[in-house]
A = this chain, B = another copy of it.
Amino acid sequence: MIATALPTDARRDRSAALARALADPKRLCVLEYLADGGERSVGDLSRCVGCQVPNMSQHLAILRTAGIVASRRDGSTILYRIADRSVLDLVGALHRVAG
């Protein structure tokens, strides 16, 4: 059986929500760091991207809610990672179209 048929209304809504989560330079920057950094902490990412920690936490919450990244606790720090390989394809396609 084919995995994906015609996009339903609900499916479009999820895709739109996913695109909205990607529609920010800082969040894309985070994904690039996670793509070759593996796992990174919030403070680490906020330093690399160049924003305050609460702001980064909000961005990461958006990415996590969208299912783009996942997190795990290691002691007092929380490490974020890319949730699925397919996300890399998506970001790649995005950058490719963007030229």
Interface set of A (CB-CB < 8 Å, partner B): 4, 6-7, 9, 11-20, 22-25, 27-29, 32, 67-68, 84, 86-87, 89-99
Question: Among the listed B4, B7, B68, B94, which residue makes an inter-chain contact with A18, where contact means beta carbons less than 8 Å apart?
Answer: B94
Instruction: Give the residue name and chain of the B residue nearest to A94 (CB).
Output: B15
Whether A23 contacts B23 in the complex (CB less than 8 A), given A89-B93, A94-B90, A98-B15, comes out as yes
Contact A20 B23 (CB under 8 A): yes
Contact B28 A95 (CB under 8 A): no
Extra pairs beyond A23-B23, A89-B93 (19, CB < 8 Å):
A6-B32, A7-B28, A7-B32, A7-B95, A9-B25, A11-B98, A12-B29, A14-B98, A14-B99, A15-B25, A15-B28, A15-B95, A16-B22, A19-B22, A19-B94, A89-B97, A90-B90, A90-B93, A90-B94
